[in-house]
Amino acid sequence: MVIKTIGAAEIQKFFLAGANAIDAKKETINDLNVFPVPDGDTGTNMTMTIMAAAKEVAALTDPDMKQVCKAISSGSLRGARGNSGVILSQLLRGFTKVAGTTEQADVRVLADAFERAVDSAYKAVMKPKEGTILTVARCGAQKAVEMAERTDNIIEMINSVILHMRDVLDQTPDMLPVLKEAGVVDSGGEGLLVILEGAYDALLGKDVSYEIEPEKTPDSPAAGVRAVENADIRYGYCTEYIIMLEKSFGSEEEKKFKAYLESIGDSIVCVADEDVVKVHVHTNDPGLAIQKGLSYGSLTSMKIDNMREEHNERVIFQSEKNAEKNKNTENNEEKEKRTKNGFICVSVGDGLDEIFRGLGADKIIAGGQTMNPSTEDILEAISEINADTIFIFPNNSNIILAAEQARDLTKDKHVVVIPSKNIPQGISALIQFSEGLSLEENVKSMESGMKAVKSGQVTYAVRDTSMDGKTIKAGDIMGLTDKTIEVVGTDAAETAAELLKKMIDDESEVVTIYYGEGASEEDANRVADLLGETGKDLQVDVEYGGQPLYYFFLSVE
Helices (DSSP H) in 452-520: which residue ranges? 492-503
363-366, strands of its sheet edge to edge? 363-366, 339-347, 387-393, 414-417
pLDDT given at position 370: 66
The reported pTM is: 0.75
Angle at 98 between CA 96 and CA 103, to 5 degrees: 90
CB of 83 closer than 8 Å to CB of 46: no
CB of 30 closer than 8 Å to CB of 191: no
Query: Cα 229 vs. chain centroid, distance in angstroms?
Result: 29
Interhelix angle 82-99/187-203, rounded to 10 degrees, is 40
458-515 pLDDT tens trace = 999 888 887 777 888 889 999 999 778 999 999 999 999 999 999 998 888 999 999 9
The strand pairing partners of 38, in sequence order, are: none
Q: Residue 501: what residue type? A: K
Rg (CA), the chain: 24
pLDDT given at position 457: 94
CB of 358 closer than 8 Å to CB of 382: no
CA 380, CA 141: separation in Å to the nearest integer?
34
* b (16+ CB within 10 A) / e for 101-129: ebeebbbebbbbbbbbbbbbbbebbeeee
CB of 420 closer than 8 Å to CB of 397: no
Cβ-based neighbour number of residue 160 at 10 Å: 17
Half-sphere exposure of 536 (CA within 13 A, CB side): 19
CA 213, CA 200: separation in Å to the nearest integer?
21
- Give how far Cα 243 sits from Cα of 163, 258, 294, 453, Å: 40, 14, 7, 46
CA 384, CA 254: separation in Å to the nearest integer?
15
The sign of the torsion formed by the CA atoms of 197, 12, 403, 125 equals positive
Q: 414-417 and 510-515: which strand pairing?
A: unpaired
Q: Comparing C-alpha atoms, which of 124, 126, 95 is closest to residue 112?
A: 95
Helices (DSSP H) in 482-539: which residue ranges? 492-503, 521-532
Q: What is the DSSP letter of 129?
A: -
Q: Which residues contact 228 (CB under 8 A, 6 or more apart)?
A: 307, 311, 316, 317, 320, 321, 324
CA 111, CA 147: separation in Å to the nearest integer?
8
pLDDT given at position 303: 80
Q: Find the distance separating the first CA and the last CA of the chain, reported in whole Å.
A: 65
Q: Which helix (H) or strand (E) holds 432?
A: none
Helices (DSSP H) in 149-276: which residue ranges? 154-175, 177-182, 187-203, 251-264
CA 81, CA 483: separation in Å to the nearest integer?
19
Q: Comparing C-alpha atoms, which of 369, 45, 24, 420 is closest to residue 221?
A: 369
pLDDT given at position 488: 93
pLDDT given at position 248: 85
CB of 349 closer than 8 Å to CB of 367: no
pLDDT given at position 326: 53
- Give how far Cα 462 sits from Cα of 212, 239, 241, 292, 511, Å: 30, 41, 41, 51, 28
CB of 177 closer than 8 Å to CB of 129: no
CB of 402 closer than 8 Å to CB of 82: yes
Residue ranges, the chain, pLDDT below 50: 216-232, 310-317, 321, 328-335
Angle at 209 between CA 207 and CA 210, to 5 degrees: 125
Q: Which helix (H) or strand (E) holds 278?
A: strand 276-283
Query: Cα 86 vs. chain centroid, distance in angstroms?
Result: 7
Q: Which helix (H) or strand (E) holds 30?
A: helix 8-30
